[in-house]
């Protein structure tokens, strides 16, 4: 069953020019069409097609906005294929805010384009399960049984291709995975260390719980007080990527409420994708009559684990001999502009040798739920990333986002590679020798 323009309330298809109401139209004109972003774009790098480049997509958005183009299957395809990695923003000398443009264009697509039944079911599943840790936990129970019985390989062989892709991304269930340590919100007499809130995210709580737990441990070892947040929810990244702005705003308001009253001076998340979204709450809620000011203030406090570890006291004295490389998770590098701190931290660990990775900041294809919705492009990007990782000859590839961890680990597993993929927090625990460490292997 194919996709088609959605009949609107008046009974017709989407009217040309309606995107003016959705996209920040003036932002389109920051683009001077120089093309300097093209080689930084993963989809252009693989497809070599102008309409799969940032410049091409901006042309499409502008043509839609001006009523020169109807929303059709081709246009939707080119917009869907964008990973929202924001590599183009880093490359752009004109400061085009591409992330903002594509986020709003996606809202327009979802409102005005009727997707196929298969896409609707898939998107519904993602939207109703992934932002809710308890639901995901329940859904994964059969997989835990499969893993306990040692039947993962058999299941992967027997599963239909579409399902196999999802199963391959799941890390093996481990009963001893550390959970996030429960702690009360800080008070003024809690001690001299700077208070840091670790936002747990949603999917990471279930699939990679050690990352938040080990982030908290590392921060405490470096002299920080870690604030446990009881009522935060999904950051809204999945909804932003999928054009569901209404729920993204609702999640943002709940998180701003909690983060603004917890007393933390800095906010981190093991998922850099979540960090980048929280850092954008000020923009996202800029017109909210209640939360605009608090949202700006919360956004200004977002940082990352490596930046805080570099600024804190050094807890690492034990030598841990390992050759590692570092993959830049898109939203840490392109969203928050943090590239050097994780590298400096890795270099500072006794015994650790850092080898630079070719195309380190090219998206691995994970991109939120992109590897579930666009498996072909995602696999091609994972393969390119794995080629570059293998070429370094390292023992570990370190990164700062659970999605990248699962994506790269799945690709290395398919190749039978022994290289371990680890979140920075897990690697710090391993190097320190005191904490629980696990990677997606």
Kindly list the residues in this chain that would bind ligand SF4 in the complex (CB under 6 A). Answer: 31-37, 40-43, 54-55, 57, 82-88, 91-92, 94, 96, 98
Q: DSSP letters of 5-26? A: EPP-TTSS-PPTTGGGGTS-GG
Residue 430, phi then psi, degrees to nearest 5: -65, -45
> Shortest distance, CB of residue 98 to ligand SF4, whole angstroms?
5
**Of 35 and 263, which CB lies nearer to ligand SF4 in the complex structure?**
35
Which tokens is 95 given? 């400061």
**Of 96 and 349, which CB lies nearer to ligand SF4 in the complex structure?**
96
Which tokens is 48 given? 């070599």
User: Rounded CA gap, 193 and 165, in Å?
Assistant: 44
User: Rounded CA gap, 36 and 59, in Å?
Assistant: 15
For residue 236, with 0-12 CB atoms within 10 Å meaning exposed, 13-18 middle and 19 or more buried, which class applies?
buried
> Shortest distance, CB of residue 102 to ligand SF4, whole angstroms?
6
246 CB-near residues (< 8 Å, 6+ apart): none
Does residue 225 sit in helix, strand or coil?
Answer: strand
**Of 54 and 403, which CB lies nearer to ligand SF4 in the complex structure?**
54
> Shortest distance, CB of residue 156 to ligand SF4, whole angstroms?
28
User: Do 173 and 147 form a contact (C-beta atoms < 8 A)?
Assistant: yes
> Shortest distance, CB of residue 196 to ligand SF4, whole angstroms?
29
Which tokens is 250 given? 């609702």
**Of 209 and 403, which CB lies nearer to ligand SF4 in the complex structure?**
403
Q: Within 13 Å and on the Cβ side, how many CA atoms surround 367?
A: 30
**Of 75 and 308, which CB lies nearer to ligand SF4 in the complex structure?**
75
Residue 419, phi then psi, degrees to nearest 5: -65, 130
Q: Which residue is associated with the tokens 């290289």?
A: 419
Which tokens is 317 given? 């004295």
**Of 33 and 179, which CB lies nearer to ligand SF4 in the complex structure?**
33
> Shortest distance, CB of residue 184 to ligand SF4, whole angstroms?
40
Inter-axis angle of helices 402-414 and 375-392, to 10 degrees?
80
> Shortest distance, CB of residue 380 to ligand SF4, whole angstroms?
13
> Shortest distance, CB of residue 113 to ligand SF4, whole angstroms?
18
> Shortest distance, CB of residue 400 to ligand SF4, whole angstroms?
18
Segments in 176-318 forming alpha helices (H): 203-207, 209-221, 237-241, 245-261, 272-279, 281-284, 292-300, 305-311
77 CB-near residues (< 8 Å, 6+ apart): none
**Of 96 and 218, which CB lies nearer to ligand SF4 in the complex structure?**
96
> Shortest distance, CB of residue 84 to ligand SF4, whole angstroms?
5
**Of 96 and 249, which CB lies nearer to ligand SF4 in the complex structure?**
96
**Of 87 and 209, which CB lies nearer to ligand SF4 in the complex structure?**
87
The candidate with the shortest Cα–Cα distance to 133, out of 238, 42, 30, is 238
**Of 49 and 290, which CB lies nearer to ligand SF4 in the complex structure?**
49
Q: For residue 185, what is the DSSP state?
A: P
> Shortest distance, CB of residue 94 to ligand SF4, whole angstroms?
4
């Amino acid at each position: 069953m194919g996709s088609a323009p959605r009949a609107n309330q008046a009974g017709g298809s989407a009217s040309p020019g309606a995107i003016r109401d959705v996209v920040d139209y003036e932002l389109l004109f920051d683009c001077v069409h120089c093309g300097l972003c093209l080689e930084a774009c993963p989809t252009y790098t693989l497809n070599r097609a102008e309409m799969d480049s940032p410049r091409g997509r901006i042309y499409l958005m502008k043509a839609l906005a001006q009523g020169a183009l109807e929303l059709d299957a081709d246009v939707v395809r080119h917009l869907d294929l964008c990973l929202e990695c924001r590599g183009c923003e880093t490359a752009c000398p004109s400061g085009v805010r591409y992330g903002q443009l594509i986020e709003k264009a996606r809202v327009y697509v979802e409102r005005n384009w009727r997707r196929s039944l298969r896409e609707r079911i898939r998107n519904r599943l993602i939207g109703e399960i992934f932002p809710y840790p308890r639901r995901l936990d329940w859904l994964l129970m059969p997989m835990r049984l499969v893993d306990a019985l040692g039947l993962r390989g058999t299941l992967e062989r027997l599963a239909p291709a579409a399902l196999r892709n999802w199963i391959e991304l799941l890390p093996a269930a481990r009963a001893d995975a550390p959970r996030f340590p429960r702690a009360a919100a800080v008070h003024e007499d809690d001690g001299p260390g700077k208070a840091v809130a670790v936002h747990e995210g949603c999917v990471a709580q279930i699939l990679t719980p050690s990352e938040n737990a080990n982030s908290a441990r590392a921060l405490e070892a470096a002299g920080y007080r870690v604030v446990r947040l009881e009522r935060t929810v999904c950051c809204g990244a999945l909804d932003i990527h999928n054009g569901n702005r209404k729920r993204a705003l609702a999640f943002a308001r709940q998180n701003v409420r909690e983060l603004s009253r917890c007393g933390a001076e800095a906010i981190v998340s093991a998922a850099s994708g979540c960090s980048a979204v929280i850092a954008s709450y000020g923009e996202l809620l800029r017109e909210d009559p209640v939360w605009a000011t608090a949202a700006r203030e919360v956004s200004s406090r977002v940082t990352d684990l490596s930046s805080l570890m570099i600024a804190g006291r050094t807890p690492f004295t034990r030598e841990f001999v390992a050759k590692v490389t570092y993959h830049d998770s898109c939203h840490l590098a392109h969203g928050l502009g943090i590239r050097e701190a994780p590298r400096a931290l890795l270099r500072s660990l006794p015994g650790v040798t850092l080898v630079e990775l070719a195309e380190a900041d090219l998206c691995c294809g994970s991109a939120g739920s992109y590897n579930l919705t666009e498996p072909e492009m995602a696999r091609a990007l994972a393969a390119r990333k794995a080629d570059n990782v293998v070429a370094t000859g390292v023992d570990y590839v370190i990164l700062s986002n659970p999605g990248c961890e699962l994506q790269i680990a799945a690709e290395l597993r398919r190749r039978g590679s022994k290289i371990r993929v680890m979140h920075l927090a897990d690697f710090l625990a391993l190097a320190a020798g005191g904490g629980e460490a696990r990677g997606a292997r």
